[in-house]
Amino acid sequence: MAASVVLGEALALGLASGPACIAACGPVLVPSLLTERAGLRPNARYLSVFLAARLLGYMLFAAAAWELGALVSLPPTPRVLVMGAVNVLLAGVLIWYAWSARSLCGHSCAGEKLVNIEGTKNRRAAGPAALGLLTGLSLCPPFVAAGVRAAELGSVAQALLFFFFFFIGTSVWFMPFISFGCIARNEAVITVARMAMALIALYYASLGIAMLIGRKVYGY
């Protein structure tokens, strides 16, 4: 099969899977983006780092799985353990992110004024990078669909290229998130985003721990 056809297929698969990717990454991406500075440029920068780290996560997972010969048939037990560990790590990063965001409104939280965000340098790259990497490592349904197709290709290089084009296709759907830069950041927005991150972190933590101790997630 011509390489261009396969890569076109990856791109189409990515474009078609975009809404599912947004749904899977939304709980992490939206509140963390809301704690960034207002403005299209900072939000575009955040999204670029997040997506680049997510791509790295994809590639790492694909390469490791290929080497283990388990891209498609990863046994359920290790898969659940990996997912559990990723979820616990994700919860940890979210909590750290929510905690570190408390300094963002330090100067103006007492009033309704817009926030002058200071001291964000250390979290500007590390935060979105960690979150992007961990969401990239999560086995979301679109990722599995791409993995199944990539496993049919002849070499690890082709599989990685397939994942890259799949990633490009899904990333188109993330572009509207740059518009979050137009939302004014005041005390209310930052606090809501921080509280939401903490809640989502609790969810991921309980999900991850449940997976690690081998329990069903739901009570039915």
Residues 108 and 27: beta-carbon distance below 8 Å: no
- 179-208 residues in contact with other proteins (CB under 8 A) are 187-188, 191-196, 198-200, 203, 206
Among the residue ranges 58-66, 122-130, 177-185, 210-218, the one whose residues contact other proteins (CB under 8 A): 210-218
How many residues belong to the site for other proteins (CB under 8 A)?
Answer: 29
Residues 48 and 174: beta-carbon distance below 8 Å: no
Measuring CA to CA, which residue among 158, 169, 154, 181 is closest to residue 10?
A: 169
Among the residue ranges 27-35, 46-54, 72-80, 126-134, the one whose residues contact other proteins (CB under 8 A): 27-35
Measured CA to CA in angstroms, residue 18 lies from 13, 15, 21, 174, 176 at distances of 9, 5, 5, 8, 12
Among 12, 16, 26, 68, binds other proteins (CB under 8 A): 26
Q: How far apart are CA 213 and CA 220, in angstroms?
A: 17
Residues 6 or more apart whose CB falls under 8 angstroms from that of 169 comprise 10, 11, 12, 13, 14, 15, 16, 17, 18
- 109-128 residues in contact with other proteins (CB under 8 A) are 109, 112
Closer residue to other proteins, CB minimum distance, 9 or 187: 187
Q: Is 86 in the site for other proteins (CB under 8 A)?
A: no
Q: Strand ranges (DSSP E) for the chain?
A: none
Closer residue to other proteins, CB minimum distance, 12 or 188: 188
Closer residue to other proteins, CB minimum distance, 27 or 147: 27
| In the complex, minimum distance from the CB of residue 207 to other proteins, in angstroms, rounded to a whole number | 9
Q: How far apart are CA 18 and CA 16, in angstroms?
A: 6
Instruction: Give residues in contact with other proteins (CB under 8 A).
Output: 19, 23-24, 26-27, 30-31, 109, 112, 187-188, 191-196, 198-200, 203, 206, 210, 215-220
